[in-house]
Amino acid sequence: MTLCPVPDLLAAARPGGLGAFNVIALEHAESIVAAAESRNRPAVLQISENTVHYHGGLRPLARACLQLAADSRAPLAVHLDHATSHELITEAMELGITSVMYDGSALDYAANVEATAAITARCHERGVHVEAELGAIGGKDGAHTPGVRTDPDEAVAFVSATGVDALAVAVGSSHAMHTRDARLDTDLIARLSAKLPVPLVLHGSSGVPDSGLQAAVRHGMAKINIATRLNIALTQSVRSALADRPELSDPRRYLGPGRDAVRREVEHCLEVLALR
């Protein structure tokens, strides 16, 4: 299966939601691809700007993800997530990544509109899909802290002014949650979905229970970003393997089970989002 544009994957996922999973190590990417193949569902491999900093550059991990996706039997895309650097977005496009999220949520509204519109125009010249975030509070948690909500009228104005293709909205989730008790405002999701001409994206989905994710999709959420759940699964598996066999020194002996744990978690998420 060749790499697919994100709009095609959004359509293929309906009536369910499109699962988008963050890649930190190669094992994450291999797990996501294997899960998408086993469940015959579309998925997105996401590389965040934080992960780029961790690896010291985008190119090696991006090329690996692009190759894995191109060789896969499943419909997949590679996406640059939470990018604030214009240079990084340019590099992503040059590498062949066809979907980026520009995160201007740390800016005030006017500056966010100006920066997002400029990025979107550049990306659209190359046929690249652009996701943005509308937030009133700075920082990665920004718009997704539990008490903050996206105003539908402001969101409509933002999309019109910037020309973005998808919008991450604040409806009750929060990044990096280790508990799964976030309560989403499904009425707000429905109102946003009815007003906005672009797909809605849920960030911080790891803190939402399965029933909440399904309700979000049924009320109009289109793309569901998941990261922390995968990291928890990997870490728990590695801890268990090393506790059981403290003499292990070959990383394949503990990262292999960790990779399997991530694959199982992605498979579960894909089943949940399929609304079967």
Q: Indicate the residue type of 128.
A: V
pLDDT, position 135: 60
pLDDT tens digits, one per residue of 190-201: 999 999 999 999
233 domain-assigned = yes
Distance CA 193, CA 80 (A): 24
Backbone angles phi, psi at 22, to 5 degrees: -80, 135
Q: Is the pLDDT of residue 123 over 90?
A: yes
Angle of helix 109-125 versus helix 86-95 axis, rounded to 10: 20
Q: Which of 90-99, 179-188, 267-276 has the lowest mean pLDDT?
A: 179-188
147 located within any domain: yes
Q: What single DSSP character describes residue 17?
A: P
Residue 176 has pLDDT above 60, yes or no: no
204 part of a folded domain:
yes
In this prediction the pTM is 0.92
Nearest Cα to 76, choosing from 153, 2, 185, 181?
A: 2
Residue 81 has pLDDT above 50, yes or no: yes
pLDDT band at 142 (very low <50, low <70, confident <90, very high): very low
* Cα separation, 249 vs 66, whole angstroms: 30
How far apart are the C-alpha atoms of 141 and 119, rounded to whole Å?
22
81 is catalytic: yes
Asked whether residue 177 carries a pLDDT value surpassing 90, the answer given is: no
Q: Which of 81, 103, 165, 185 is catalytic?
A: 81
By DSSP bridging, strand 18-22 and strand 200-202 are: unpaired
Closest by CA position to 270, among listed 27, 38, 6: 38
Report whether pLDDT(120) > 80. Answer: yes
In the chain, % helix, strand, coil (3-state, to 5) comes to 55, 15, 35
CATH code for the domain of 245: 3.20.20.70
Q: Find the domain containing 88 and state its range.
A: 6-273
Please give the tally of structural domains in the chain.
1
Query: Is the separation of the CB atoms in 200 and 231 below 8 Å?
Result: no
Q: Is residue 1 part of a domain?
A: no
pLDDT in tens, 50-61: 999 999 999 999
pLDDT over threshold 60, residue 181: no
Residue 166 lies in a domain: yes
Handedness of CA 233, 236, 241, 242 (dihedral sign): positive
**Residue pair 9/42 in contact by the 8 Å Cβ criterion:** yes
* First-to-final CA distance of the chain: 24
pLDDT band at 105 (very low <50, low <70, confident <90, very high): confident
pLDDT band at 138 (very low <50, low <70, confident <90, very high): very low
| 238-260 residue pLDDT tens | 999 999 999 999 999 999 999 99
- Distance of alpha carbon 89 from alpha carbon 119, whole angstroms: 8
Do residues 22 and 43 touch, judged by C-beta distance below 8 A? no
Question: Residue 108: which residues within 8 A CB-CB, separation 6 or more?
Answer: none
Report which residue type is found at 219: H
Residue 175 has pLDDT above 90, yes or no: no
Give which of 228, 239, 248 is closest to 24, Cα–Cα: 228
